[in-house]
Structure 1
Amino acid sequence: MTRLIASVALAVMAASAAATGLESLEAFVKNAKSGRAEFTQTVTAPPRDGQAARAKVSSGSFEFQRPGRFRFDYKKPFVQSIVADGETLWLYDADLSQVTQRQQAQALGSTPAALVAAAPDLRALQADFALENQPERDGLQWVKATPKNKDGQLQSVQVGFQGDALAALEILDSFGQRSVLRFGKVEVNPALPASTFQFKVPSGADLIRQ
């Protein structure tokens, strides 16, 4: 993943080479008020019945504006969108022609999106996550975030930074599934129109409210 969420993936305020992952996260949350990038996501499920683990790769674009607004648009291999407008979280699956609507405050909390896009400051993150530095690898500084709420599906998230720029997310859920996002073509603090985070249910799509 190049300089970044490069977010949820995006602050490119150059830090010293000695900066820790936690210091980079703090700078990122403080300085990156908005951003956009492209991403590649690789999801690997744990092996079953002696079979090798299989990986699924998808790609798309990501935009965010603090606090609480973000948008993931998956373009390949299937069209999907995840949009948070500050009050409502929308999940759209074009293949199923289905939209799921949830209250954002209940849906985010201890999620990767809260780490890179939703939280207004580090203190807000520390209310939901235990944060600890990790050893440098792949030329990135890492911080591990473990949800304090043990009832969710998220086991941990590791966030990788290049300087203060978010470069990678490694997400492990409670089922042993690992999701790795790499960010590229990052823009930090672009002017994003309000329409970026508005979602309109497509004509003919089924709407499910949760």
Structure 2
Amino acid sequence: MIKTFITTAALALTSFTTQADGLQDLEKFLREVNSAQASFTQVVTSPKRTGETVARSKTSSGRFEFLRPNRFRFEYTQPFEQTIVADGQTLWLYDVDLNQVTARQQQEVLGSTPAALIAAGTDMRALSQAFELKAAPAHNGMEWLEARPRAQDGQLHSVRVGFRQGQLTALEIADSLGQRSVLTFSQWQGNAPLTAERFRFQVPVGADVIRP
């Protein structure tokens, strides 16, 4: 998930006022929403294998929270428990079934990821250094923008971000292997009263810790 989940020359300021609503929604989101919490559902679809008539997919769900800058938390509850926490310095991945924790330096893995777009980013200029950003046509009652990482050495191919009435509603993530992941958010609470303590990860007793 973290490879998926996980895992530009600066745009002139004048371009923001001439772009379609998706870019304007992102700019407003970065400026006005400093924290949030929501429920999410994620559907991951793999490319068809030889002989397959229907693409394979799997669905998971849980809770999502973030606090700018650089702190977020994904708690998967269905069908398996898994926690991903970024505390500002370290990215923690806890697999409950394996009782195993993987810890990575956050700055090394979050530069051009969906998390950088919605949780770590603080302004459009900074994001434009990591992504090519452009407006996309409105669809399903949402305004969209598309982001493509400028670096070509990662697995992420593109991210589409959907806003409804200025509220983050959906992420569509495509990787270089043809896998597609769609996250939809509900019960959204912007500027939730979250503190840095909420994103402090405590290694469970007895868990193995791996630091690649």
TM-score scaled by structure 2? 0.89
User: Which residue pairs with 1:9 in the alignment?
Assistant: none
- 1:121 CA drift (Å): 1.1
Structure 1 stretches of at least 4 aligned residues deviating more than 3 Å after TM superposition: none
Distance, in Å, in 2 between the alignment partners of 1:106 and 1:57 is 28
SS in 1 for 2:201: coil
- 1:194 CA drift (Å): 2.6
- Partners of 1:42 and 1:55 within 8 A in 2: yes
- 1:97 CA drift (Å): 1.1
- 2:27 equivalent to 1:42: no
SS in 2 for 1:49: coil
- Partners of 2:20 and 2:135 within 8 A in 1: no
User: Which residue pairs with 2:171 in the alignment?
Assistant: 169
SS in 2 for 1:39: strand
User: Which residue pairs with 1:31 in the alignment?
Assistant: 32
- Partners of 1:158 and 1:171 within 8 A in 2: yes
- Partners of 1:147 and 1:155 within 8 A in 2: yes
SS in 2 for 1:133: strand
Distance, in Å, in 2 between the alignment partners of 1:74 and 1:129 is 27
Which residue of 145, 151, 155 corresponds with 1:143?
145
Gaps of 5+ in 2: 1-18
Gaps of 5+ in 1: 1-17
RMSD over aligned CA atoms reads: 1.1
SS in 1 for 2:154: coil
User: Which residue type is aligned with residue 126 of structure 1?
Assistant: S
User: Which residue type is aligned with residue 36 of structure 1?
Assistant: Q
- 1:195 CA drift (Å): 2.3
SS in 2 for 1:146: strand
Number of residue pairs the alignment of both structures matches: 193
User: Which residue type is aligned with residue 100 of structure 1?
Assistant: T
User: Which residue pairs with 1:185 in the alignment?
Assistant: 187
SS in 2 for 1:48: coil
- 1:19 CA drift (Å): 5.8
User: Which residue pairs with 1:66 in the alignment?
Assistant: 68
Distance, in Å, in 1 between the alignment partners of 2:195 and 2:111 is 25
Percent pairwise identity: 57
